[in-house]
């Protein structure tokens, strides 16, 4: 039952990511739900689970884009790993540290994506100003909602 | 904790390596194949999700369309029922209009006024004897008023009024055994007496023994008839009965022009004014100026063909009437008599 629920949530998160990007994206700004949830998983379950889940979600995100196949998988896995490491230094179960982590990691994601583009495509992949500025806030909101939902599910 | 950290290091190393391999590979055929495989795995989610989303997004509009269609369906249903009723009403009015139009074209005998009535009752035990009609004293009917009916374009004799009630009357049909009417054959203008048999057919007696009767000859009411106007079709000769050596006349079987079983409406030529003229206007006078009605009433039903022989009349078979029909050997009508009025029998006119 737990596995079934986990699988359903796993697929639901992928669907939510696609649906939001497709229908609720304004000026290119949309929350990176899978990326944020990878961090939430790392905060609750540790880095290994977060990296595995994030890697698959990353491949899914890569399949939806035309360039840099593997970049999202790498960045999601690294985000899970880094969040797992941060988890050892601070309590990411609390909302404040989680929001701060997500906020910073979101900014880092955009920058690392550009760097990967510079390395492998010879051009900096810029997500856009508005998405770059808006995504951290949107991701923070998703993180709060995800954490609350996780807590409700556990209780 | 150390173990988990170690595993995490291994995992991140492996995944990073894999990712870098994927990133370092140009988007050549292997990468595209892998991406295609990934798309095959993940795209159904997006595809089905899009379909589901579209369905959800269209649900309000579809519900609205469904409600609109339901409302439209109800409205059209009511419209259809109304039109169906209207159609039947128009058909009924059309039939009535045709009947009244033909009725307006009739010329009635002096002092007679046509009254249309519906057959409302039959006696199953006396199917060929009589019918009840929905006109009575209130519409000016009186005893022995002639009763006609339309058969196609022709007016045919049906019977006469034998009982008058306030709002209905009883019509004794020609097929009643007690009924009789003076008639003549169109081929030779031979006079005779048509009598009912309580059967679908009639019998015409008192035809001259020397006469040559043509089969399918038309039979008309005679001017000698005291009840019917002259030259109204009764029927056709169906067959000639074998001659009886003990009788001084011939007899033929007459097939009525209108089967009494098919009788639905009748035209009664009333002689007096109805007790409630306004409530039941006659067909000829409906919606017309009184002067026009009076003028038409003054016009003859048919031109006078010949002088009516004295003492020629119908009688009941019961012998209640004092006068008898034209006996055998009665003077034949004029051979050069004018044709009957076209309003009655345009195609049945005697030669």
Q: What is the mean pLDDT of residues B45-56?
A: 74
Q: What pLDDT, in 10s, does the model give residues B96-130?
A: 777 767 666 666 777 788 888 999 988 888 888 89
Q: Determine the pLDDT at residue B29.
A: 67
pLDDT of B295 strictly over 80: no
- pLDDT value at residue B306: 36
Contact B12 A14 (CB under 8 A): no
Q: Compute CA distances B82 → B87, B89, B94, B95, whole Å.
A: 8, 10, 18, 20
**Chain A residues in contact with B24 (beta carbon < 8 A):** 120
Looking at residue B147, its pLDDT comes to 93
pLDDT at B131: 93
**Residues on chain A touching B1 (C-beta within 8 angstroms):** 88
Q: Minimal Cα–Cα distance from B78 to chain A, Å?
A: 44
Rounded to whole angstroms, the Cα distance separating B326 from B225 reads 10
- Evaluate if residue B265 carries a pLDDT over 70: yes
Number of Cβ within a 10 Å radius of residue A108: 15
Q: Per-residue pLDDT tens for B136-185?
A: 999 889 999 999 988 877 889 999 999 999 999 999 999 999 999 999 98
Give the pLDDT score at B229: 87
Minimum-distance CB partner of B12 among A15, A62, A78: A78
Nearest residue of B to residue A57, measured between CA atoms: B42
Higher pLDDT, B120 or B26: B120
Q: Show residues of chain B in contact with A62, CB under 8 Å.
A: 22, 35, 38
Whether B8 and A55 lie within 8 Å, measured CB to CB: no
Q: pLDDT for B194-246, tens place per residue?
A: 999 888 899 999 888 877 888 888 999 988 888 888 888 999 999 888 888 88
pLDDT given at position B343 = 40
Q: What is the ipTM of this complex?
A: 0.80
Each residue of A5-43: pLDDT tens digit? 888 888 888 888 887 877 777 787 888 899 999 999 998
Task: Supply the pLDDT for residue B223.
Answer: 86
Query: What is the C-alpha separation between B327 and B311, in angstroms, rounded?
Result: 11
pTM of the model: 0.42
Low-confidence spans in chain A with pLDDT less than 70: none
Q: Per-residue pLDDT for B304 more than 70?
A: no
Position B115 scores a pLDDT of: 87
* Residues of chain B contacting A, Cβ within 8 Å: 1, 4, 7-8, 11-12, 15-16, 18-24, 27, 31, 34-35, 38-39, 41-43, 45-46, 49-50, 53
Kindly report the length of chain B: 351
Least confident of A79-83, A133-137, B274-278, B318-322: B318-322
Contacts B34 to A, Cβ<8 Å: 69
Tokens 């009883």, residue located: B170
pLDDT at residue number B45 = 66
* Cβ distance of B23 and A15 shorter than 8 Å: no
Quick one: pLDDT at residue B274?
Answer: 65
């Amino acid at each position: 039952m737990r596995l079934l629920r986990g699988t359903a949530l796993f697929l639901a998160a992928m669907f939510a990511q696609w649906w939001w990007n497709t229908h609720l994206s304004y000026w290119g700004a949309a929350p990176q739900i899978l990326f944020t949830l990878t961090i939430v998983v790392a905060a609750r379950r540790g880095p290994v689970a977060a990296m595995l889940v994030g890697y698959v979600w990353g491949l899914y995100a890569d399949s939806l884009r035309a360039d840099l196949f593997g970049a999202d998988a790498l960045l999601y896995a690294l985000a899970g790993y880094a969040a797992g490491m941060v988890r050892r230094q601070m309590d990411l179960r609390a909302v404040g540290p989680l929001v701060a982590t997500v906020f910073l990691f979101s900014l880092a994601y955009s920058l690392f994506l550009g760097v990967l583009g510079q390395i492998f495509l010879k051009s900096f992949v810029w997500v856009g100003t508005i998405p770059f500025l808006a995504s951290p806030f949107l991701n923070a909101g998703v993180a709060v909602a995800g954490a609350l939902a996780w807590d409700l599910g556990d209780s | 904790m150390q173990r988990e950290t170690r595993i995490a290091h291994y995992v991140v190393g492996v995944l990073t390596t894999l990712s870098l391999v994927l990133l370092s590979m140009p988007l050549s055929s292997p990468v595209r194949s892998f991406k295609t495989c990934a798309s095959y795995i993940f795209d159904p989610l997006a595809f089905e999700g899009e379909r589901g989303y579209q369905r959800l997004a269209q649900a309000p509009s579809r519900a609205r369309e469904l409600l609109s269609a339901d409302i439209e369906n109800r409205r059209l249903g009511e419209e259809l029922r109304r039109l169906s009723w209207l159609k039947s009403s128009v058909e009924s009015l059309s039939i009535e209009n045709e009947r009244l139009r033909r009725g307006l074209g009739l010329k009635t005998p002096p002092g007679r006024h046509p009254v249309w009535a519906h057959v409302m009752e039959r006696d199953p035990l006396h199917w060929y004897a009589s019918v009840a009609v929905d006109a009575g004293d209130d519409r000016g009917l009186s005893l022995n008023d002639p009763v006609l009916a339309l058969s196609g374009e022709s007016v045919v004799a049906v019977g006469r009024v034998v009982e008058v009630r306030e709002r209905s009357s009883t019509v004794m049909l020609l097929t009643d055994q007690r009924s009789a009417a003076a008639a003549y054959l169109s081929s030779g203008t031979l006079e005779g007496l048509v009598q009912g048999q309580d059967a679908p057919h009639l019998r015409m007696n008192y035809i001259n023994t020397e006469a040559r009767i043509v089969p399918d000859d038309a039979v008309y009411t005679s001017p000698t008839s005291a009840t019917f106007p002259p030259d109204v079709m009764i029927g056709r000769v169906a067959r000639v009965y074998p001659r009886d050596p003990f009788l001084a006349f011939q007899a033929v079987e007459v097939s009525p022009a209108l089967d009494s079983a098919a009788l639905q409406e009748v035209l009664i030529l009333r002689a007096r004014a109805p007790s409630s003229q306004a409530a039941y206007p006659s067909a000829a006078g409906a919606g017309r100026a009184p002067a026009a009605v009076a003028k038409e009433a003054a016009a003859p039903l048919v031109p006078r063909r010949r002088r009516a022989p004295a003492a020629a009349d119908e009688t009941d078979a019961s012998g209640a009437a004092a006068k008898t029909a034209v006996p055998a050997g009665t003077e034949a009508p004029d051979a050069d008599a004018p044709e009957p009025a076209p309003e009655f029998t345009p195609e049945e006119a005697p030669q």
